[in-house]
Amino acid sequence: MQAGQAVFTTPTNATGWQRWLVFSPLARIVFFTAMMFVLYNVVHMGVAGLGMLGKGVDPLTRSLAVLALSLVPALVSYVVLVKAIERRPMREFTLRDLPSLGTVGLLLGSGLFGAVVLVLWLAGSYHVTGTNPGVDWVPAVLITGIGAGVGEEIITRGVLFRIVEEGLGTWWALAISALFFGAAHIFNPGATAWSSLAIAIEAGVLLALLYHVTRSLWPCIGLHAAWNIMQGTVFGIPVSGTEAQGWLVSNRTGPDWLSGGEFGAEASVVALLLCSCCSAVLLVIAIRRNTIVSPGWRRTA
């Protein structure tokens, strides 16, 4: 394992019970999950008490409430995990990398989903029927862009992939975090077993490898946010089954394996193939750099 790949190492002076109940991968994941659960309920009571989620609330106010539910529990729990439990610099989330690596992620996400739509258009599946320049794009950007981009990347890549990789190695971390990411979308509108598997492969694997190669959450957040914004706010395609009002008024035709059906383009074989090609490039980079992390018991041996 290359030096620096493991972000956290157990302190040498840790006692036996601390190694298992505080610093072990499982203990840290459980701690983060429990803290985020508590904070989510606290924030939910707060925004509900302020009337930000009730009936008749304007879209911007509601979107700010949903944004708070997506960001505050995950972000605060992660900072406490890193600073209080792991007691290390938060290099994967440092603000100085935001302008550079965040921009790279935004460009990758925009270009990648633009390529998906281009192929669907060339295949006769994506059709533009008009434009809607007056669309209210702010709520969608706040919820599916910033909220999902930051919150889901902290949970899936910052916690699950990173910590599982420390214990079980890169291959197991890829599989577990990708399957978790796909399963997390199984209850979305129009979701099927195929759509969840597609998201696990095209997004779960791609974003995990992007984190592995860069060791930063910013490109993952940028790609995730740009993908969702381009999909819904620009091209008017449902985002993981959620109906979207985009600048382009569009529809998709053809078999579900091509168009993605009710779930959206993420369930299309086009998205699966294009994202898998990007994942293959990142995997080659990781192998050439010799950064694939072996399971903990092999490293010990």
The pLDDT score that the predictor gives to residue 8 is 81
Q: What is the DSSP letter of 55?
A: T
Look at residue 299 in the predicted model and tell me its pLDDT. Answer: 67
Alpha helices in 154-230 (DSSP H): 162-168, 170-183, 193-199, 206-214, 218-229
With contact defined as beta carbons under 8 Å apart, do 189 and 262 qualify? yes
How far apart, in Å, do the first and last CA atoms of the chain sit? 13
Query: How do the domains of the chain map onto residue ranges?
Result: 91-300
CB proximity list for 98: less than 8 A, separation 6 or greater = 218
pLDDT at 4 over 60: no
117-144: pLDDT as tens digits: 999 999 999 999 999 998 989 999 999 9
CB of 220 within 8 A of CB of 210?
A: yes
The reported pLDDT for the residue numbered 257 is 96
Q: What is the pLDDT of residue 14?
A: 84
Position 158: which residue type?
Answer: G
> From CA 301, how far away is CA 292, in angstroms rounded?
17
Residue 288 has pLDDT above 90, yes or no: yes
- Residue 301, pLDDT > 70, answer no
Looking at the chain, the whole-number percentage of residues with pLDDT higher than 90 is 86
- Tens of pLDDT along 220-279? 999 999 999 999 999 999 999 999 899 999 999 999 999 999 999 999 999 999 999 999
Name which of 257, 258, 194, 188 is nearest 228 in CA terms. 188
pLDDT tens-digit map of 76-125: 999 999 999 999 999 999 999 999 999 999 999 999 999 999 999 999 99
| pLDDT tens digits along 195-212 | 999 999 999 999 999 999
Distance CA 96, CA 266 (A): 32
pLDDT, tens digit (0-9, with 9 covering 90-100), for 24-61: 999 999 999 999 999 999 999 999 999 998 888 999 99
Structure tokens at 194: 């195929």
Crossing angle between the packed helical segments 269-289 and 206-214, to the nearest 10 degrees: 30
pTM of the model: 0.94
Contact call for residues 244 and 265 (beta carbons, < 8 A): no
Q: What is the pLDDT of residue 300?
A: 64
Residue burial 72-103, b: 16+ Cβ < 10 Å; e: rest: bbbbebbebbbeeebeeebebbeeebbeebbe
pLDDT of residue 2: 44
pLDDT digits (tens, 9 = 90+) for 58-74: 999 999 999 999 999 99
Whole-number pLDDT of residue 32: 98
